Amino acid sequence: MKLLHTSDWHLGAKLGRHDRTPDHVAALRGLLKLAESTRPDLIVHTGDLFDAARPPYEALELGVQALKRLSAIAPTLVLSGNHDSPVLLRIIDDLAGAAEPRRLRLVTEPRVVAYPDIAKEPVAVACVPFIAPSAIADYATGDPTRFEGDYADGVRALNQRLLDEAHRGAGARGIVLYAAHLHVQGARPGRSERRITVGEDYATHVEGLQRALYCAFGHIHDPQRLPSGAAQGRYAGSLIPLDYGEQQQVKQAVVVTIADDVRANPHELPAGRPLVELAGTLVELERRAADGGLDGCILKARVVSRDPLPDLADRLAEWSPGCAVFELVNTLENQPVKAIDPSRGDDAEPALDDLFAEWRTTAARGVKAPHEAVGALFSQALGSAGQAAAADFGLTPLALRAQETLNNLAAKANGDRS
């Protein structure tokens, strides 16, 4: 039997203001090409099909079309991840059920999915979609009120029950697989900048999973083997680098061959536009970007200079017009620092009007020297703070003239009525 394992597509994801659809399309083309060349008997997606519970219509369409093409190659099984809407996936599953023979299944609750006809022997997959800690008692035992234990205890009990059922369904010579969207204790989360639900509250263990010939995991974005080696399986990882914390990760899908032994072979996938991160001088940026050197990239850059570079974005656009900018920051080498005056007492503080003048000369943008009129008004405001007769900055004459005009209008209106 041959299995293709993919995971964590996160369709609809953005990086800042940049839609990642072009990158997803490139990766999905690579995945489809791999499926067509390897001709697996079963395709398993281990969760986070979408990046949000309510994905954009374009992402929804892309996901449905990709699953349609994959399921035309081999029966396809999709688990719900923590980013997915179980309701949405159930709707897609209901629609997929109208096809005959059925080729696509989406699983939103723990259960065993049986495939009696896809290999020489029956195949049973024990499926564990993402389960929140608050819900684990509902699935761990037949009676939630009798469950005592933590999240890992609940998942362990659930795994035992599902694997028992899978072995009964597959028979003595059948193939039992395990698929889950979970965080296993000891797995390497990687440097993703995205908030992911890993930690002690969500940690599970591989204990007992050796009863499955292969364990397909999703949720961790960095592709890797399961920790400890007690069970045969892998995290397939995310489909594309979703942020700059994942830029060094090699994205892949896993082709698993089950015969006399089990062999899991990762296959690298195209990741779309590369995420490029730079920190250096303007000369170093120009050297990298000149003649379109950064075209087709998504750039995060910090440029250090002696003086401000107000036209930095324009220069980059001239050098690499096809570069998508996620972040472009200009920082100065030597920010002005106020010298310490040893003659001041430890408790002495500069006056507010002095600080205001200093700010205008050193930090305020577009101001080269303190304007005397502005400084005088600021001092006047400070001097009248908290006083009953506060400075009015010339507003009193205006208020008197306005009141006089209103009185004249009122008198004229009264005369007209008489």
What confidence tens digit (pLDDT) does each residue in 333-387 have? 876 555 555 555 555 566 777 777 766 665 555 555 556 667 777 776 766 555 5
Range of weakest confidence among 131-135, 158-162, 237-241, 303-307: 131-135
pLDDT tops 70 at residue 70: yes
Mean pLDDT score across all residues of the chain: 87
Helix (H) or strand (E) holding 18: strand 18-19
Tens of pLDDT, residue by residue over 123-182, are 999 999 999 988 898 898 877 777 888 899 999 999 999 999 999 999 988 999 999 999
> Is residue 249 helix, strand or coil?
coil
Predicted pLDDT of residue 364: 56
Q: Are 182 and 140 in contact (CB under 8 A)?
A: no
**Separation CA 380–CA 373 (nearest Å):** 10
Residues 6+ apart with CB under 8 A from 173: 121
**Separation CA 5–CA 224 (nearest Å):** 13
| CATH superfamily label, 2-268 | Metallo-dependent phosphatases (3.60.21.10)
Predicted pLDDT of residue 20: 97
Domains of the chain, by residue range, sit at 2-268, 275-371
Tokens representing residue 257 in the block: 């061959």
**Separation CA 45–CA 105 (nearest Å):** 10
Better pLDDT: 205 or 13 = 13
Predicted pLDDT of residue 405: 83
Tokens representing residue 130 in the block: 């993402």
What's the chain's Rg over C-alpha atoms?
32
> Given pLDDT bands bounded at 50, 70 and 90, which one contains residue 413?
confident
Under DSSP, the state recorded for 341 is: -
